[in-house]
Amino acid sequence: MTDRIVLANMVFHGRHGVGPAERSNPQPFEIDVEMHLDTRPAGLTDDLSKTVDYRDIFEICRSIVEGPSRQLIETLAESIATAVLDRSAAAGATEVVVRVRKPHAPLPGRFDHASVEITRRRER
């Protein structure tokens, strides 16, 4: 399947990291979500109930990033992927790709961001 719904570069502030400073001061986290599903039923009928409502996906990402602190961005990505697959099951989403970028990771030099990308498929 080649159809995808993409939410790119969502930015939320959270308190995630290993060090105490990262967990006490909110910092930006950039999130991308790609959902793989057949969009044809929605495209042919113009019916939102036949696809994924990306407002719901945005809220899932926001609530996870702005929610309880986690040490690892891997944990953020896994939590987002699980919730998105659960929420998009009715629309037939079979796979999700989640990218979490941390532009202000505490590293001793210049860099764009630290990131993790995961791909999760629906269990059959």
pLDDT tens per residue, range 60-75? 999 999 999 999 999 9
In this structure, what token pair is assigned to residue 60? 């899932």
Tell me the pTM. 0.93
Please determine, for residue 1, whether its predicted confidence score (pLDDT) is greater than 70.
no
Contacts with 120 (C-beta within 8 Å, 6 or more apart), sequence order: 78, 81, 82, 85, 95, 96, 98
Domain count, the chain: 1
Q: ∠ CA 70-19-14 to the nearest 5 degrees?
A: 45
Q: Which of 40-44, 83-87, 107-111 has the lowest average pLDDT?
A: 107-111
Domain encompassing residue 92: 4-121
Per-residue pLDDT tens digits for 67-106: 999 999 999 999 999 999 999 888 888 999 999 999 999 8
Identify the CATH number of the domain in which residue 35 sits: 3.30.1130.10
Would you state the structure tokens that stand for residue 71, as one six-digit string?
Answer: 């040490």
Residues noted as catalytic: 102
